[in-house]
């Protein structure tokens, strides 16, 4: 079961709400049990946010590798491919970060 603090929005997982909110200190009575639909949205978005974060990490690895390839400067064709990979990795990273922000804005955290 998921419980949400009506004061600060902290989400708690457990059979019952905590005695005191670990974020804002509100009492147990400030918590409301989330509906099954709302809880499912939280659980599903938790997984997709993890996937997005892994994509961000992989994109940064591609960016770093591509930068190394550019710096080696073997030939213009190679440098061009590495530069494109570098630039595209940045876009992939930013796209996933923007989607996480969208999730948060929709209450899917």
Cα 72 versus chain centre, distance: 33
Element (H, E) at 31: strand 31-33
How far is it, in rounded angstroms, from Cα 67 to Cα 107? 37
- Give burial (CB, 10 Å; 0-12/13-18/19+) of 100: middle
For 84-109, the pLDDT digits (tens) are 999 999 999 999 999 988 887 876 66
**Do strands 31-33 and 11-13 pair parallel, antiparallel, or not at all (unpaired)?**
unpaired
What's the confidence (pLDDT) of residue 106? 78
Residue range 7-23, pLDDT digits in tens? 999 999 999 999 999 99
Mean pLDDT computed over 29-38 = 95
Where exactly are the structural domains of the chain? Answer: 1-34, 43-109
CATH topology of domain 1-34: Rubrerythrin, domain 2 (2.20.28)
Looking at residue 1, its pLDDT comes to: 93
pLDDT above 90: residue 45? no
pLDDT tens-place string over residues 62-92? 999 999 999 999 999 999 999 999 999 999 9
């Amino acid at each position: 079961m998921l419980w949400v603090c009506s004061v600060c929005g902290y989400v708690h997982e457990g059979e019952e709400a905590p005695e005191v909110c670990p974020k804002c200190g509100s009492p147990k009575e400030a918590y409301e049990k989330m509906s099954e639909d709302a809880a499912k949205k939280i659980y599903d978005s938790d997984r997709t946010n993890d996937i997005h974060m892994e994509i961000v990490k992989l994109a940064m690895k591609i960016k770093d590798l591509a930068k190394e390839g550019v710096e080696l400067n073997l030939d213009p064709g190679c440098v061009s491919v590495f530069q494109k990979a570098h630039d595209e990795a940045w876009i992939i990273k930013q796209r996933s970060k923007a989607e996480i922000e969208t999730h948060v804005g929709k209450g899917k955290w």
